Amino acid sequence: MAILRKLNHILLFLLVLTFCAIWYSTIYKTSTVKEQGDVASEVEEEEEDVIPVVICAAAGRMGATIAAINSIYSNTNANVLFYIVGLKNSLAHIRKWIQETQLSEIQFKIVEFNPMVLKGKIRPDAAFPELLQPLNFVRFYLPLLTSEHEKVIYLDDDIIVTGDIQELYNTKIARGHIAAFSDDCDLPSLQEVIRRVGIQNTYMGFLDYRKKAIQKLGISPSTCSFNPGVFVSNMTEWRQQHITKKLEKWMKKNVEENLYSSTIGGGVSTPPMLIVFHEKYSVIPPAWHVRHLGEYTSALFSTLFIAPTQAVALHTYRNITSVTSGKMCLIL
């Protein structure tokens, strides 16, 4: 009997111990899952709050890039993450420009662009050699540079932003569209200047319609063009529709057939985008890309579209020499 009683005590002890172990395991597991869930939620929320902005930093135009970044940083409270893209020999210079100024507080990543990716895709006889710079084609490879983001802003280095970049980021991109651009015909007050100085704002100004490959596209030559110097892009649609491969396809065709290099517009990176993005883009508000400022000698631009309360992203085209009495006088 004593042995049986002792055995019962042992069994009872083991039963209580097992119950405690199960209870502790259940409580601890629930707590751990909750903590992990909270962390995941915070990370996801943080990622959604980040506004990724891609901008290039060419060795000879570092000052322009820094001015553009500063204009964005100074006019927003949003959580902006700058992807500053440069060639290998300029990466240390870029970091120095950032870290030794007040911009040391910004969030940024310096990304190297390998120009070898462009081998065999660019004609060497373009009318404007400066447009052949490798960084001019960074916009074709956005998904490779910003793989973790759903939505990305791209800006040329000669952009000055006077508004809140959050507003541009909030641009609605329609289902099936890859990006949002500003149409070159969307500023009625600019049309007189366009006619007077010969600015190209239709597909005919960028594509050679004498070539069969262009004719087969079925795009009217009078179709309004868009400017890819400022745009917001849906990276998921970009990947699913294989946009980079399509852009590279037209670059190669241009090397073989000279479809756009010698046309009036003189563009090299714009024409393939006009082809690939045709009828697949939404529109950003005109004030978010006021163009051609400084491109033509003695061109006067009305405050109807460059007033500080309306124009929030100015494409300066390198040289703005004076701002006087309600008008901006642009002299090369």
Architecture of domain 46-185+225-286: Alpha-Beta Complex (3.90)
Please name the residue that has the structure tokens 């396809």.
249
Give the residue extent of every domain in the chain. Answer: 46-185+225-286
Per-residue pLDDT at 281 exceeds 90: yes
Residue 72: CB atoms within 10 Å: 26
Q: What is the pLDDT of residue 125?
A: 66
Q: Do the Cβ atoms of 226 and 181 come closer than 8 Å?
A: yes
Nearest CA among 224, 260, 75, 57 for reference residue 156: 57
- Give CA–CA dist 129/266, Å, rounded: 10
- 3-class SS at 47? helix
- Give CA–CA dist 308/28, Å, rounded: 58
- Give CA–CA dist 28/37, Å, rounded: 14
Q: Do the Cβ atoms of 121 and 252 come closer than 8 Å?
A: yes
Higher-confidence residue: 176 or 130? 176
Percent of the chain with pLDDT over 70: 65
Sort strands 299-301 and 313-315 into parallel, antiparallel or unpaired. Answer: unpaired
- Give CA–CA dist 290/302, Å, rounded: 12
- Give CA–CA dist 110/326, Å, rounded: 39
Higher-confidence residue: 138 or 27? 138
DSSP string, 76-123: --SEEEEEEEE-GGGHHHHHHHHHTSGGGGSEEEEEE--GGGGTTSS-
Least confident window among 3-17, 118-132, 303-317: 303-317
Q: What is the pLDDT of residue 123?
A: 85
Q: What is the pLDDT of residue 4?
A: 55
CB contact set of 55 (below 8 Å; sequence gap of 6+): 65, 68, 69, 82, 83, 84, 85, 154, 155, 156, 157
Per-residue pLDDT at 293 exceeds 70: no
